[in-house]
Amino acid sequence: MEIVISESKQELGKIAAQTGADLIRKAIIQNGEAFIIVATGASQFEMLGELVKEDLNWSLVTAFHLDEYIGISDQHPASFRKYLKERFADLVLPREFNYVNGDDDPDAECKRLGDLISKQPIDVAFVGIGENGHLAFNDPPADFEIEDPYLVVNLNDACRHQQLGEGWFPTFDDVPKKAISMSIRQIMKSKAIICSVPDDRKAQAVYGTLNNEISPDCPASILRNHPNTILYLDKQSSSLL
């Protein structure tokens, strides 16, 4: 794992986006197309804001959505589909964006998305790390063994408090208890992983990711086993290192 520490989250976002864009360009040159995974949340604001400025042939890019709550519509202010449409897909117009739909039958949606993502390797995964060390919505203790590309997960209280703290929901009781998430194994199959983690509230999770035993109790620690992960931090998120 390579670690890049920036002075600010704005600088972090710019550097992470540039590296990710270069990897996408490389895939397009080599294969005529690229396949990516895109994350959401407050930690991705700066990176996505810079990524959409990159001069790329987005018509050759197919994107997959990392996770979504079960039981809220794509018009809900906290919907990750809404987030990605407004901050990414509607701005760059990729060839295809495979959103996670948590409205109807979660198990059928997991199968649908699993069938789609299994057809080709992922060139670049843009991800973050949660305050509790989660990767996507795989809260601790995460399942490192499940082969299914997508699964239904229970959100623990620490994860739900993070969503409340970021301002996505008016009260804790409004935060959903279940979500559809890409699995750990599917994320780890990506050729390259760009992991953007700004802010001091993530400092403890960053410390655990880099220093704790690689374990389901700190899901993001598994990234240390990936051959091409770059972890982008700012001064605040790296303060405990």
**Tokens describing residue 94:** 């990729």
Q: Is residue 239 part of a domain?
A: no
Q: Is residue 240 part of a domain?
A: no
Angle at 72 between CA 140 and CA 64, to 5 degrees: 65
Q: Is residue 128 part of a domain?
A: yes
Beta carbons within 10 angstroms of residue 30's beta carbon: 10
Q: Is residue 178 part of a domain?
A: yes
Q: Is residue 172 part of a domain?
A: yes
- Alpha-carbon Rg for the chain, nearest whole angstrom, is 16
Per-residue pLDDT of the chain (241 residues; tens, 9 = 90+): 999 999 999 999 999 999 999 999 999 999 999 999 999 988 999 999 999 999 999 999 999 999 999 999 999 999 999 999 999 999 999 999 999 999 989 999 999 999 999 998 999 999 999 999 999 999 999 999 999 999 999 999 999 999 999 888 999 999 999 999 999 999 999 999 999 999 999 999 999 999 999 999 999 999 999 999 999 999 999 999 9
What total number of domains does the chain contain?
Answer: 1
Q: Is residue 241 part of a domain?
A: no
Reported pTM: 0.95
Beta carbons within 10 angstroms of residue 60's beta carbon: 16
CA–CA gap between residue 207 and residue 241 (Å, rounded): 6
CA–CA gap between residue 113 and residue 54 (Å, rounded): 27
Q: What is the DSSP letter of 216?
A: T
Beta carbons within 10 angstroms of residue 5's beta carbon: 14
Contact (CB, 8 A) for 149 and 175: no
Q: Is residue 70 part of a domain?
A: yes
Contact (CB, 8 A) for 16 and 48: no
Domain at 66, CATH number: 3.40.50.1360
CA–CA gap between residue 47 and residue 127 (Å, rounded): 10
**Domain span at 207:** 2-234
SS3 (DSSP) at 146 = coil
